[in-house]
Structure 1
């Protein structure tokens, strides 16, 4: 009970609970569109932004967010250039992000330890500014998904049909990319850039294994994310484990349980 009354743990729970809504939700759309690896790409680009933020003494998450948004535009532009090889856009942007981050790391070695917390997550160090950023991004994502849920549904399952039906596919692709960039930038301090892809994809995998409809999948993906983050934080706090790693391993355990349950029902 002492853990629950600690301010740092309360901030961690709030931040984790918020990101457990948006990351799995955006991840579901990405998985359905076969863009699951975009999470890794944007997270690596975000780390380059975080490193630059430390270098120029500007709020690192804000710089990482800007880098991720710019990268999302780059991915969409390259996807249009290489229509038959769309995955090339993800590989190219990821390579550029890693290269830029490695250069920035060497410019000022003194901040390497701070950047490490963004690589593996440092949810217990969330401050008031971090919570405001996460809450704002959560609100934006939820409003967009609620208002455009029908269009996003059509785009996720059949982009060609959406285009024929008059949907401005290009702008919706950019919108999804920007929203994903926002979510990833907010997530890297919680679970870390190296693990954020798991928070995007594994809840979606659990949801798709158990759900029978798209609406059910949306509900399940959020539930899985919330259970994993909240339970993972509690386990990490009680047993003194790494929070990000604990959350991801718990997600994997939940995925295995979901697959086993589905096999039992067949």
Structure 2
């Protein structure tokens, strides 16, 4: 345990904890929107910000955040207007950001080697100023993702329903992608721009297998991400390996280990029972009788996307919010 006395390990552990908590926090909403590859696209776009910082000889983090947030918001607005499909927008981010970053780094006389620390992470070289920036931005991400949990869940799970109850869906969607962009750029010193998406998605998938309910799953994914990040940071010290890669491998290992344990814990059959899919024909609806319970992200009932909206499995039936009451399938 002598490594605890080393200042660079103390900073690395703190940065790992912050990243392990924040990446799954925003990743939960990204996964709910079925945009699991968004983190990869934003990571590639952040490379352009780093390359621009090299060309202008400025600090890479502020420019990377600015470029990443602007690009993420632009893609979201294009998606909303129907001028670009989600996968097309992500492809533009992937190729444009990465190639632009490499070109800018070359023009700055740096080359691709100078980008390696940002692409794959450099956790053990995190300085005091880096740690403060990671802590402040991480706190902002956590405050918003937890404080606005009901609203962000509603717009991520069922945007038409969220719009029908008066939520500002456009601004909430922009907020989600902007927070994802901030999380990606903050994590470039810990797990790297090319690997951060795994820390945003894999702990969320692991928590989904082990828990029921959005709120519980959110906090469980944050705990799983923290364990993976801290384990990877400590393990890299002893194994003399890249921390970012080890963090991701540990996260994937936890996901693999959770699969049989989840079946045993929840008593699921080998073939899960089909409770509906987005492609199913809508079933007949009738108002649910005597329904004092209010369904939502933390109600404890499984949420199932079905025919363009979200049903909640309750007492063997599926309830869907409809105006001031629930329809029952």
Per the shorter chain, which TM-score range? Answer: over 0.9
Give me the whole-angstrom Cα distance separating, in 1, the residues matched to 2:156 and 2:190. Answer: 27
Deviation at 1:86, TM superposition (A): 2.6
- Does residue 43 in structure 1 map to residue 43 in structure 2? yes
Give me the whole-angstrom Cα distance separating, in 1, the residues matched to 2:158 and 2:230. Answer: 34
Deviation at 1:150, TM superposition (A): 1.0
Aligned to 2:186: 186
- When the two chains are superposed, the root-mean-square deviation of aligned CA atoms in Å is 1.4
Give me the whole-angstrom Cα distance separating, in 1, the residues matched to 2:119 and 2:228. Answer: 20
CA contact (8 A) 1:188 1:196 kept: yes
CA contact (8 A) 2:46 2:64 kept: yes
Give aligned pairs, total: 266
CA contact (8 A) 1:141 1:179 kept: yes
Give me the whole-angstrom Cα distance separating, in 1, the residues matched to 2:231 and 2:99. Answer: 35
Aligned to 1:214: 214
Which protein is richer in helix relative to its size? Answer: 1
Q: Give secondary structure in 1 for the equivalent of 2:18.
A: helix
Q: How does 1:94-109 map to 2 (within 5 A)?
A: 94-109=94-109
Aligned to 1:255: 255
Give me the whole-angstrom Cα distance separating, in 2, the residues matched to 1:118 and 1:91. Answer: 21
Deviation at 1:54, TM superposition (A): 1.7
Give me the whole-angstrom Cα distance separating, in 2, the residues matched to 1:92 and 1:184. Answer: 17
CA contact (8 A) 2:51 2:102 kept: no
Write the deviation string for residues 108-134 of structure 1: whole angstroms up to 9, x where unpaired: 333643321001100111111111111
Q: How does 1:127-146 map to 2 (within 5 A)?
A: 127-146=127-146
Q: Give secondary structure in 2 for the equivalent of 1:124.
A: helix
Which protein is richer in strand relative to its size? Answer: 2
Deviation at 1:238, TM superposition (A): 1.0
Task: Give the direction of change, closer, same or farther, for the CA distance of 1:84–1:95 in structure 2 (3 Å limit).
Answer: closer
Aligned to 2:10: 10
Write the deviation string for residues 2-26 of structure 1: whole angstroms up to 9, x where unpaired: 2111111100000110111110110
TM-score by length of 1: 0.96
Q: Give secondary structure in 2 for the equivalent of 1:188.
A: helix
Q: Give secondary structure in 1 for the equivalent of 2:215.
A: helix
Give me the whole-angstrom Cα distance separating, in 1, the residues matched to 2:79 and 2:22. Answer: 24
Q: Which has the larger radius of gyration?
A: 2
TM-score by length of 2: 0.78
Task: Give the direction of change, closer, same or farther, for the CA distance of 1:83–1:261 in structure 2 (3 Å limit).
Answer: farther
Aligned to 1:227: 227
Give me the whole-angstrom Cα distance separating, in 2, the residues matched to 1:43 and 1:108. Answer: 20
Q: Give secondary structure in 1 for the equivalent of 2:110.
A: helix
Unaligned 5+ runs, structure 1: none
Give me the whole-angstrom Cα distance separating, in 2, the residues matched to 1:100 and 1:130. Answer: 24
Q: Which has the higher contact order (CA 8 A, sep 6+)?
A: 1
Aligned to 2:325: none
CA contact (8 A) 2:51 2:103 kept: no
Deviation at 1:232, TM superposition (A): 1.1
Aligned to 1:63: 63
- Does residue 197 in structure 1 map to residue 197 in structure 2? yes
CA contact (8 A) 1:79 1:88 kept: no
Give me the whole-angstrom Cα distance separating, in 2, the residues matched to 1:140 and 1:180. Answer: 12
Unaligned 5+ runs, structure 2: 269-329
Deviation at 1:81, TM superposition (A): 3.2
Q: Give secondary structure in 2 for the equivalent of 1:212.
A: coil
Give me the whole-angstrom Cα distance separating, in 1, the residues matched to 2:197 and 2:86. Answer: 19
